[in-house]
Amino acid sequence: MIRYAVRRAALALVVVAGVVILTFVIADVVPGDPAATWAGPHASAAQIVRARQYLGLDQPLPVRIGKYFGGIVTGNWGISIHTHRPVLSDIGTAAPATLELVIAALVIAVAVGVPLGLAAARWPGSLLDHGIRAGSVLGVSMPVFWLALILQLIFAQRLRLLPVAGQYDPNLIFSHPLATRTQMPVVDSLISGNWAVLGSALRHLILPALVVAAYPAGVVARMTRAQLLDTLGETHVQMVRSLGFSERRVLGTFAMKLAWNPVAAVLALVFAYSLVNTFLVESIFDWPGLGSYAAASVSSLDTPAIVGVTLFIAVIYVASNLVVDVVQAALDPRIRLR
């Protein structure tokens, strides 16, 4: 087991090294002339030359890759062009809000997707099954930025049931000041017992979280259904069935026990997908996270910031894959042999 974990970790490190090189290519090789971009559109030739020296672009490629690597490892991820702050500290400031949003979305995805998958597996081939399947394909086919705008229009602008944007009501800043520890309003207000802010924060969270949940909910529902139908063929599940347990118990208790593992694995994988989907959602809801930061960086063509966010999410993705693989191998010895 430990040998497997070490081997997987070593492989993940190689991949991360490759990821860093690929981001170097994006940051340094693909753009026509980063120095000209840095110096601005009205820069003189002399200014561009100075920018080139300042950015180290006059040095040979291997030296630049080495420096880039060194910077990444020591936490120097470059300076954002639009915020003029170090990219890594920008990411650190923005990440908690996004984490809160994505976790809320994944909770919704499980709360919706697993029961739907169970229902579909209970009556496979029925109208309900077809409906749930169509619904899950709909979730996967949804342009999230469009869903965000539509839900915002209906529930916030027209019906006025939910707030339009933001993390919580700004008026509460004075009446119920929030002690920030984690930068996540929901968690912070829970810790400090600030119920006014908690209520407001939850209401603000509903719409963006629902939008981000569309994709993972569809994936979870399909995964649950397929896994359940798979495990129904296993002998021990058939035995439980023949012992006369209700179909509900057979599916919900015995078959589902086996289905949780792959569902959890798929959740870890869609986590990174959802992080990227926040790029399209956060700016619509004025959510101060990584997604808003990335969208702003895209519109100002802020290469260091985009590359930083890209690297950050890719590393999270590789890490979550590693954790999934190792945990799965720990739970299921057959995997280690592959």
Partner 1 sequence: MTALPAPAAPPPVPAPRRLAPLRRAVRASPLITAGGAIALLIVLAALAAPLLAPYPADAGSATHPEIALHAPSLRHLFGTDQVGRDVFSRVLYGARVSPLVALFVLLIACAVGIPLGVAAGYFGGVLDEIIMRVTDVFLAFPPLLLALAFATVLPASLTSLTIAIAITWWPWYTRLVRGQAASVAGRPYVEACRALGIQRWRILLRHVLPNSVTPVIVQVSLDVGGVILTASALSFLGLGAQDPTPDWGLMVAEGENYFTTQWWLVTYPGLAILLTALAFNLLGDGLRDVLDPRWVPGVRER
For partner 1, the binding residues (CB under 8 A) are: 11, 14-16, 18-19, 21-23, 26-27, 30-31, 130, 133-134, 137-138, 140-146, 149-150, 153, 157, 219, 222-223, 225-227, 230, 262, 266, 269-270, 272-273, 275-277, 279-280, 284, 294-295, 297-299, 301, 303, 306-307, 310, 313-314, 317-318, 321
What does the alpha-carbon distance between residue 305 and residue 86 come to, in Å, rounded to a whole number? 9
Closer by beta carbon to partner 1, 157 or else 246: 157
Q: Which is nearer to partner 1, 157 or 180 (CB)?
A: 157
CB of 23 to partner 1, least distance (A): 7
Tell me whether residue 212 or residue 313 sits nearer to partner 1 (CB atom): 313
Q: Which of 63, 150 has the CB closer to partner 1? A: 150
Q: How many residues does the chain have?
A: 338
* Cβ distance to partner 1 smaller for residue 96 or 117: 117
Q: Give CA separation, 252 vs 35, 116, 247, 324, in Å.
A: 60, 12, 8, 24
Q: DSSP letters along 12-30, please?
A: HHHHHHHHHHHHHIIIIIS
Closer CB to partner 1, residue 133 or residue 176? 133
Can you state the angle between helices 303-331 and 290-299, rounded to 10 degrees?
140
Q: Whose Cβ is closer to partner 1: residue 126's or residue 246's?
A: 126
Smaller CB distance to partner 1: residue 178 or 271? 271
Dist CA 266 CA 220 (whole Å): 7
Structure tokens at 274: 């959802």
Shortest distance, position 243 Cβ to partner 1, whole Å: 28
Report which DSSP code applies to 253.
Answer: I
Q: How far is the CB of 168 from partner 1 (least distance, A)?
A: 22
Nearest alpha-carbon partner for 147 in 272, 278, 281: 281
CA distance 318 to 78: 22
Which amino acid type is present at position 164?
A: V
Helix, coil or strand: residue 165: coil
Helix (H, G, I), strand (E, B) or coil at 219: helix
Q: Which residues pair with 43 in a beta bridge?
A: none
Closest approach, Cβ 238 to partner 1, in A, equals 20
Cα(21)–Cα(293) distance, integer angstroms: 23
Other Cβ atoms less than 10 A from the Cβ of 233: the count is 9
The Cβ-side half-sphere exposure at 34, using a 13 Å CA radius, reads: 20
